[in-house]
Structure 1
């Protein structure tokens, strides 16, 4: 089977695509891949490192306000569609899947016009403009949150979950703790704000050091590379408690997540997929700066089902953070309840589900 994948802009669109590629490679030896992205997106750096053939087109996203730039974007979309169509004609894929980001627009649209089976994968509870547009043309729409159903034609929707969830199951949590310099016996809270960190979370955590020093649990605090030096300097001035480990970045995040009793983080779709697959209780602090406020809606999907606690950034203080952590880590029964409810929302076979859907559509084409 020849497969074209397109997705870009953020890791939230790229990493699920790569998880899907790895799942397919494990299941079959005859799959051939081509990834179409942009030269300026993260995908241009990440995908080639995975030894996946990569082609690029030039496209930009629409501005939500009336702007002359949108006229340029329409031109780029039309050119991107022509360029994508030419690439598809050369590669002759059996199926095309878009995992999000504006680059998917011309690629998936061109595929639909060439009558190639198409799927879009929507990771969030609220879809972006590109997937809303493409929903009219694709054959199937794979979703990760039930809340996303209302935005799409019901006949096309299939619940698959996020392929990233499949990559965290079965990881060694003890090994993850040891790799981060943590005790293997103390209850553990992992705090992070995404790959680049989040200043409001960093500020609240630093102000919590004095309280953390007296707690019967340990804290692994991942600042993000951009903030690490400033945070470390402040920690040294205040006094870094012995039960708080500060890291700029974690490269083996699935293992470290598996070793956590509680996670404090943003509410990105990939993070939520990982947490629910592992059954890790969480305190979610959604970023208020994302499109359609989708992170808050992602977080509410978990908090309303008892799998997470929602803490809005406007309510985030050192006191509210420590109080929220204590309420979970110091209550084993509450931890168990949240873990069980998170596991019920997890889809550890999500990559396999999406692959089966692709096989079905590609098979229909070949009949």
Structure 2
């Protein structure tokens, strides 16, 4: 049997980044990598650029916590996607399936379970998301980023791994980033981002305070698709919808980061020792996972947190200035973070599971 693995996960970049970190290692170890994702999600855009990976698109249905007429249609899309995934898995016969979560992963996990294929799930947040909560009963193992997540999982399935971070992020060049941006070395730089889908709320506050920020800082602003405002272009300010290839260099330039509190992103900032101002998604538009993530990081001294409902131009300026002035304190705390190799741990678990199959 060919040494195949199926990866899945999508809906946002956070549900793809771990797969992107694993992918080259798996290929080096002799796995043929197949990806199952949605027809139009960001995972397709990111994965089709990866050499040697075959991509299958299936029907998906978003798992909403609010009323929407699509809620009546989407269960049928999930069922269709589960059948499509079942047929793909039956044909490809992978040794193992690795799921990063997101709504696209549910039909794949169900299809894998029906094929009796071992399934490894990765949960980034302190508490499992809705898609993973549905998928956990079908899983062989559930890998966690936070140690405390094990409290929410069956003891026989939980395995603490830590944060899997893309290795290429550590290879960024500040010189290349400054050249790409046209920025000066003599002024600190802020990287502001609202996740792969952008954050209208963060964008509005950045725009409102931009004039004042630019007196002391240069600003890289990753706005999200369709949210770039060309009328705001000026020296020391660069805005992008989304960044892939240049992201390591932009992170190398950044003195601090303003961000939502998705687990994958904040652990990447931690690995690079970037002081953070975190603005977690509020419970009104999420399940509250980012609030828990941000609180965990704040308690460890890695960041300052602004609740979304308290966000204003004045508050953002105050906290940004504080974090920058105390940046060495935050970096010192981050340097004390436990040193480990979660990427290799995950690869070992995948290979061991594949051999057992």
| TM-score over 0.5 for the pair | yes
- Asked if the contact 2:20/2:166 (under 8 Å) is kept, the reply is no
| Structure 1 gaps, min length 5 | none
Deviations 1:88-117 (A, max 9, x none): 121111111111112222222232333322
Q: Match for 2:259 among 265, 279, 293?
A: 265
| Structure 2 gaps, min length 5 | none
Whole-Å Cα distance in 2 between the matches of residues 197 and 68 of structure 1?
A: 24
Shift of 1:70: 5.5
Q: Which has the higher contact order (CA 8 A, sep 6+)?
A: 1
Partner of 1:23: 25
Whole-Å Cα distance in 2 between the matches of residues 199 and 106 of structure 1?
A: 31
Partner of 2:201: 200
Cα distance change, pair 359–273 in 1 and its aligned pair in 2 (3 A): same
Partner of 1:179: 180
Partner of 1:319: 314
Whole-Å Cα distance in 2 between the matches of residues 71 and 300 of structure 1?
A: 36
- Shifted more, 306-315 versus 253-262: the winner is 253-262
Partner of 2:34: 34
1:143 aligns with 2:137: no
Cα distance change, pair 147–136 in 1 and its aligned pair in 2 (3 A): same
Partner of 2:333: 341
Shift of 1:62: 3.8
How many residues get paired?
A: 351
- Give secondary structure in 1 for the equivalent of 2:329: helix
1:277 aligns with 2:271: yes
- Shifted more, 13-22 versus 165-174: the winner is 165-174
Q: How does 1:1-367 map to 2 (within 5 A)?
A: 1-25=3-27, 27-28=28-29, 30-51=30-51, 52-64=53-65, 73-215=74-216, 217-229=217-229, 232-233=230-231, 235=232, 240=234, 242=235, 244-249=236-241, 250-251=243-244, 252-288=246-282, 290-330=285-325, 334-345=326-337, 349-365=341-357
Whole-Å Cα distance in 1 between the matches of residues 224 and 42 of structure 2?
A: 17
- Asked if the contact 1:161/1:347 (under 8 Å) is kept, the reply is no
- Give secondary structure in 2 for the equivalent of 1:55: strand
Whole-Å Cα distance in 1 between the matches of residues 285 and 262 of structure 2?
A: 10
Alignment RMSD (CA, Å): 2.6
Shift of 1:275: 0.2
Whole-Å Cα distance in 1 between the matches of residues 73 and 225 of structure 2?
A: 35
Whole-Å Cα distance in 2 between the matches of residues 110 and 285 of structure 1?
A: 37
**Structure 2 length as normaliser, TM-score?**
0.88
Whole-Å Cα distance in 1 between the matches of residues 348 and 131 of structure 2?
A: 24
**Structure 1 length as normaliser, TM-score?**
0.86
Deviations 1:97-145 (A, max 9, x none): 1111122222222323333221011122232222112212211111112
